[in-house]
Amino acid sequence: MDQSKAEERVKELRSLLEKYGYYYYVLDDPIVPDAEYDEKLQELLNLEQEYPELQTADSPTVRIGGEPLDAFVKVQHEIPMMSLGNAFNEQDLRDFDRRARQGTKEELHYVCELKIDGLAVSLTYENGRFVRGATRGDGTTGEDITSNLKTVGSIPLRLKEAVDIEVRGEVFMPKRSFERLNEAKEKAGETVFANPRNAAAGSLRQLDPKIAADRNLDIFTYAIGNDKEMRTATHYEAIEYMKELGFKTNPESKYCRDIEEVISFVNGWVERRNSLNYEIDGIVVKVNSLAQQEKLGFTAKSPRWAIAYKFPAEEKVTTLKDIILSVGRTGAVTPTAVLDPVQVAGTTVQRASLHNEDLIREKDIKIGDQVVVKKAGDIIPEIVRVLEELRDGREKDFTMPSTCPACESELVHLEEEVALRCINPQCPAQIQEGLIHFVSRDAMNIDGLGEKVIQQLFRHHLIAGISDLYKLQKEELLKLERMGEKSVQNLLSAIEASKANSLEKLIFGLGIRFVGAKAARTLAEEFDTMDRLRRATYEELTAVYEIGDKMAEAVVRYFELQEVNELIDELQKLGLNMEYKGPKKQDISENTTFSGKTVVLTGTLEALTRTEAKERIEALGGKVTGSVSKNTDIVVAGADAGSKRTKAEELGVDIWEEPRFLEETEAGR
């Protein structure tokens, strides 16, 4: 076969395989036997190997899995993938409805969707072709797993229209695939997966795409994250549009005219959830109108226009074998129940936090009791109650000790606290927990330094405090178990890279009492440098919006400690950044160009990402929204601006090209 005939045959095979794959993976309605599909796929693979110049990034052969990756690259989501608030009963749903109606002053309609228990991903298409897939990560930054997602048959590699669009979906492992996978792992003597969600997440985070290709993953797309042309006006229309483009959406989604229809839908699925071939852990409820969604907006963590109803927790009976103690990074000593292993909501539960001695007394918990266990929110194991009627007299009371189980220092009750606390700053358990917090995602975010690695380093006396992390040597790390040349180099590179983090990461990582990630950002933004922050007075701190009395007092006390100041000085000498690098808020009273203005970004900007442009506008007192209306003051139009620019022209809204936007924002910085 010459090249011209090969090219014709390749096009024909790709067209056939795309059609076969769409019917098989998306519609669940195969139109040819598996053998026919496999035969055509092998023929295409042979032709692409014979004529490499005919290979393309969206060929069906990429689903087989390409070469292994060295590591996953970080990806910043242009529009954050926010988590949802939770509802646990009908009253929570009615409260959500009441708040939404108060926020819009309008009649609301909803869309209900099954909450798939999988891994949330973002899929980006340019000119209709799949170019990038990423995990949700922390909502702002995920990991590029494009190679693995290409192996998921229900993810289209080419859409039915040549559009630029980003959609969100949930990758999951069907129950039958999960059972087959665990059977194979058992036969091979390997550890089985606890549940389908873990199996799906583990499959997508394999560096070798061939492993993901063998796991038979699936996806339901549930939302359009970014459609620059704004082709739909409601969420339900968006679902229908995704189907038209070739995406697989969940067939059980339902349009509801009011909250009573929502509650009826929810109650129906509480009974039927186990009838599906995939795991669900609740129902997502969304306001249907996109304009109303925009009007309702967001809290710091989640949209006000959506909520996740969580199914009632599954309860199981097991034996409480023992109560052990753990010491947290702030010194709080927490009792934990050790249980006979029991399957609850898809995972094996062996431990449950008992929080404090008062709770043990309140629930009359004894060692040896038969107890009812559930997972709060289907996540955190907890003891619901004791089955006192099953006691036989062999049960034992539990009493909290008077000394720390880690360092034997005397435990104290601080004012207005229920917990017992170890106040020894040299307590090894506190130091270790503090290190685990310091390297965590919301703090210094050091890849490769998870809890087990920290424990290993601590156990081998390679670290005893935060500063020791930045003194680790390659030679000493190579001596440790499961520490090869490549993993050690990656770890040292991640540690070195963390030195450049903006100040708020370090502030949060230090673990100052009452200071969470958001407060750390506020403090960094306000005081700009670590030196200014550690010299700040109580009065200066409480003058900062969102910094209350308790937090201000905790910050002052923290920086009064000599060992804290010695640590910060040492970290500075080791090269850690001590300045805030994020966008700085301007005083709105300065009357900048954007003060109090509503701005819409449309089209593609060349000099900035959409997120960077948004940060500039907000830093200068403006508000960024997603759609053009009579309330819009400025539309910033990049290349291929499309319908939003047209609407702005119709409404007489001021339109800025990118050069003017850059000039105005630079002038105000």
- Which of 287, 310, 333 is the endpoint of a domain? 310
CB proximity list for 508: less than 8 A, separation 6 or greater: 442, 443, 515, 516, 517, 520
Rounded average pLDDT over 194-212 = 82
Catalytic pick among 115, 286, 295, 647: 115
Separation of CA 384 from chain center: 29
**Highest mean pLDDT out of 3-7, 204-208, 307-311, 659-663:** 307-311
What range defines the domain where residue 624 resides? Answer: 588-668
**What is the arithmetic mean of pLDDT over 162-172?**
93
Q: Which of 95-104, 204-213, 247-256, 477-486 has the lowest mean pLDDT?
A: 204-213
As a whole-number percent, the residues of the chain with pLDDT over 70 amount to 94
302 occurs within a structural domain? yes
Residue 75 in domain: no
Q: Taking the CA of residue 534 as centre, how many other CA atoms within 13 Å lie in the half-sphere pointing to its CB?
A: 22
Identify the pLDDT of residue 604.
78
What is the rounded radius of gyration, in angstroms, for the C-alpha atoms of the chain? 28
Domain assignment of residue 421, yes or no: no
Q: Are residues 538 and 600 in the same domain?
A: no
Q: Which of 498, 522, 548 is the last residue of a domain?
A: 498
**Residues contacting 539, CB < 8 A, separation 6+:** none
pLDDT of residue 71: 67
H-helix segments, 105-158: 146-149
- Residue 668, pLDDT score: 54
Same domain for 565 and 656, yes or no, is no
Q: CA nearest 146: which of 159, 158, 161, 130?
A: 130
CA distances (Å), origin 44, targets 10, 38, 52, 114, 154: 6, 10, 11, 37, 19
Reported in sequence order, the residue ranges of 80-206 that DSSP labels E, i.e. its strands, are 85-87, 110-116, 119-126, 129-135, 141-143, 165-172
Inside any domain, residue 71: no
Task: Please give the Cα distance from 563 to 516 (Å, whole number).
Answer: 21
The stretches of 188-258 forming alpha helices (DSSP H) are 196-204, 209-213, 235-245
Q: What integer pLDDT is reported at residue 76 of this predicted model?
A: 86
- Look up residue 258 and give its DSSP letter: S
Closest CA to 555 of 538, 572, 530, 576: 538
Three-state secondary structure readout of 15-84: HHHHHHHHHHHHCCCCCCCHHHHHHHHHHHHHHHHHCHHHCCCCCHHHHHCCCCCCCCCEEECCCCCCCC
Cα–Cα dist 442/501, whole Å: 11
Task: Let me know: does 369 contact 395? Beta carbons within 8 Å.
Answer: yes
Shared domain check, 174 and 97: yes
Tokens of 46: 């042979």
pLDDT of residue 67: 59
Q: Is the CB of residue 466 less than 8 Å from the CB of residue 435?
A: yes
pLDDT, mean over the chain: 87
**What's the pLDDT tens digit per position in 552-602?**
999 999 999 898 999 999 999 999 999 998 866 544 445 567 887 888 888
575: left (phi over 0), alpha (psi -120 to 50) or beta: left
Taking a C-beta distance cutoff of 8 angstroms, is the pair 186, 104 a contact? no
- Examine the residue annotation and report whether 614 is marked as an active-site residue of this protein: no
468 contacts: CB under 8 Å, gap ≥ 6:
462
Quick one: pLDDT band at residue 69, thresholds 50, 70, 90? low
**Does residue 490 carry a pLDDT above 90?**
yes
Q: Are 514 and 491 in the same domain?
A: no
Distances in Å between the alpha carbon of 504 and those of 83, 431, 501, 523, 553? 22, 21, 8, 7, 19
pLDDT at 486 over 70: yes
Give the pLDDT score at 415: 67
CATH (domain of 44): 1.10.287.610
In which region does residue 616 sit, left (phi positive, over 0), alpha (psi from -120 to 50) or beta (all else)?
A: alpha
Are 288 and 406 found together in one domain?
A: no
| pLDDT surpassing 80 at residue 496 | yes
DSSP string, 386-432: E-GGG--S--B-----SB-TTT-PBEE--TT--SEEE--TT-HHHHH
Q: What pLDDT sits at residue 219? A: 95
Closest listed residue to residue 248, CA positions, set 145, 171, 351, 182: 171
Lookup: tokens for 441:
């995602």
State the helix-helix crossing angle for 34-50 and 3-21, rounded to 10 degrees: 150
Across 16-30, 181-195, 244-258, 604-618, which has the greatest mean pLDDT? 244-258
Q: Is 95 left (phi over 0), alpha (psi -120 to 50) or beta?
A: alpha
Q: Tell whether 146 and 256 lie within a shared domain.
A: yes
Alpha helices in 474-516 (DSSP H): 474-478, 485-498, 503-509
What is the amino acid identity at position 504? E
Contact 444, 498 (CB under 8 A): yes
Assess whether pLDDT exceeds 80 at residue 270: yes
322 falls within a domain: yes
Within this chain, do residues 55 and 158 fall inside the same structural domain, yes or no? Answer: no
> What CATH number has the domain bearing residue 653?
3.40.50.10190
In terms of Cβ atoms closer than 10 Å to its own Cβ (0-12, 13-18, 19+), residue 1 is: exposed
pLDDT at 618: 77
Is the same domain home to 140 and 273? yes
What is residue 192's DSSP assignment?
Answer: P
Residue 490: inside a domain: yes
Segment 28-33 shows an average pLDDT of 73
Token pair of 558 as six digits: 């923290």
Instruction: Give me the residues paired with residue 375 across strands.
Output: 381
Spacing of C-alpha 459 from chain mean position: 31
Predicted confidence at residue 108, as pLDDT, reads: 95
Determine, yes or no, domain membership for 423: no
DSSP category for residue 314: P
**pLDDT the model gives residue 259:** 96
Q: Residue 416 has what pLDDT?
A: 66
Element (H, E) at 273: none
Given pLDDT bands bounded at 50, 70 and 90, which one contains residue 406?
Answer: very high
Does 631 share its domain with 483?
Answer: no
Tokens representing 191?
């550890």
Mean pLDDT of all residues in 533-542: 92
| pLDDT over 60 (residue 536) | yes
Residues 91 and 208 in one domain: yes
Judge residue 485's burial from the number of C-beta atoms within 10 Å of its C-beta, 0-12 exposed, 13-18 middle, 19 or more buried: exposed
Q: Between these two residues, 609 and 78, which has the higher pLDDT value?
A: 78
Report the percentage of the chain scoring pLDDT > 90. Answer: 48
Q: Angle of helix 610-619 relative to helix 658-668, nearest 10 degrees?
A: 40
For residue 5, how many other CB atoms are within 10 A of its CB? 10
Bridge partners, residue 130, by sequence: 125
- pLDDT (0 to 100) of residue 605: 79
pLDDT at 346 over 70: no
User: Could you tell me the CATH number of the domain that includes residue 128?
Assistant: 3.30.470.30
Total tally of structural domains belonging to the chain: 6
Work out the average pLDDT over 286-315.
88
Same domain for 267 and 186: yes
Mean pLDDT of 26-46: 76
Provide the total of helices (H) and of strands (E) in the chain, helices listed first. 24, 22
Please tell me the total number of residues recorded for the chain in this structure: 669
Q: What is the CATH number of the domain that holds 480?
A: 1.10.150.20
- The reply to whether 210 and 279 lie within a common domain is yes
pLDDT for 379 equals 64
Domain assignment present for 581: no
The residue out of 479, 498, 517 marking a domain boundary is 498
